[in-house]
A and B are shown apart, each in its own frame.
Chain A
Amino acid sequence: MTAPRKEVRKTERFHQIPIFSNLAGKEVGEILRMTRETKYKPGDTIFSPNDPCDGFYIILDGRVDIRLTNDNGETQTTIATLSHRSVFGEMSFLGKRPRSAWAVAVEDTRLNRVDGEAFQASLDRGDVSAYKVIHNFAILIAGRLRRVEDELLDVLQTVGPEKRKEKLAELQEFRHTLYRDWSF
Chain B
Amino acid sequence: MLSDTAHYFRNAAKVMGIGQRVQRVLERPQRSIKVEITVELDNGDLGTYTGYRVQHNRARGPGKGGLRYHPTMDEDHAVALAGLMTWKTAIVDIPYGGAKGGIDCDPRSLSSREVERITRKFVGEIHEVIGPTVDIPAPDVNTNAQIMAWIMNEYSRFHGFSPAVVTGKPVDLHGSPGREEATGLGVTYCIEELLSRQKTSVAEKTFAVQGFGNVGSWLAHHLHKRGGKVVAVSDIGGALYRKDGIPIDKLRDYFAKHRKLEGFPEAESIPRDDVLFVECDVLIPAALGGVLKENNAKDVKAKIVVEAANAPVTPGADEIFHQNGVMVVPDVLANAGGVIVSYFEWVQNIQQFRWELEEIRSKLQRYMRNAFTTVWDLAQRKNISLRTAAYVVAIGRVGKATVLSGL
B interface vs A, CB < 8 Å? 16-19, 21-22, 374, 377-378, 392-393, 396, 399-400, 403, 407
Contacts and interface: CB of A to CB of B under 8 A. Distances in A.
Chain A contact residues: over half helix, strand or loop, or mixed? Answer: helix
Contact of A171 (B17, B400, B403): B403
List 7 tightest A-B contacts by C-beta distance, closest first. A170-B19, A175-B403, A174-B22, A184-B378, A178-B399, A170-B21, A184-B374
Interface of A: 167, 170-171, 173-175, 177-179, 181-184
Nearest to B389: A184
A173 B399 CA distance: 12
Contacts of A173: 19
Contacts of A167: 21
24 contacts: A167-B21, A170-B21, A170-B22, A171-B22, A171-B403, A171-B407, A173-B19, A174-B18, A174-B19, A174-B22, A174-B399, A174-B403, A175-B399, A177-B16, A178-B399, A178-B403, A179-B400, A181-B16, A183-B396, A184-B374, A184-B377, A184-B378, A184-B393, A184-B396
Contacts of A182: 16, 392, 396
Chain B contact residues: over half helix, strand or loop, or mixed? Answer: helix
Given A178-B399, A184-B377, A184-B393, 6 more contacts: A171-B22, A174-B19, A175-B403, A177-B18, A182-B396, A184-B392
A184 to B, nearest CB: 5
A175 B16 CA distance: 12
| Residue with the greatest number of chain A CB neighbours at <10 A, chosen from B374, B392, B399 | B399
Contacts of A183: 396
Nearest to B407: A171
A172 to B, nearest CB: 9
Contacts of A170: 19, 21-22
Nearest to B403: A175
A173 B19 CA distance: 9
Nearest to B398: A178
Contacts of A179: 400
| Residue with the greatest number of chain B CB neighbours at <10 A, chosen from A170, A173, A179 | A170
A73 to B, nearest CB: 23
Contacts of A175: 399, 403
A181 B15 CA distance: 11
A167 B24 CA distance: 12
Contacts of B19: 170, 173-174
Nearest to B25: A171
Nearest to B26: A174
A183 B399 CA distance: 12
A178 B21 contact: no
A177 B21 CA distance: 14
A98 B291 CA distance: 54
A47 B22 CA distance: 42
B11 to A, nearest CB: 14
Nearest to B393: A184
Nearest to A183: B396
B396 A178 contact: yes
A177 B403 contact: no
A166 to B, nearest CB: 8
B16 to A, nearest CB: 6
A177 B378 contact: no
Nearest to A167: B21
Nearest to A184: B378
A183 to B, nearest CB: 8
A68 B77 CA distance: 37
A184 B396 CA distance: 9
A178 B399 CA distance: 8
Contacts of A184: 374, 377-378, 392-393, 396
A170 B400 CA distance: 14
Contacts of B393: 184
A178 B400 contact: yes
Given A170-B22, A171-B22, A182-B392, A177 B17 contact: yes
B279 to A, nearest CB: 36
| Residue with the greatest number of chain B CB neighbours at <10 A, chosen from A167, A170, A184 | A184
A79 to B, nearest CB: 27
A170 B20 CA distance: 9
Contacts of B377: 184
A160 to B, nearest CB: 15
A93 to B, nearest CB: 42
B396 to A, nearest CB: 5
Nearest to B381: A184
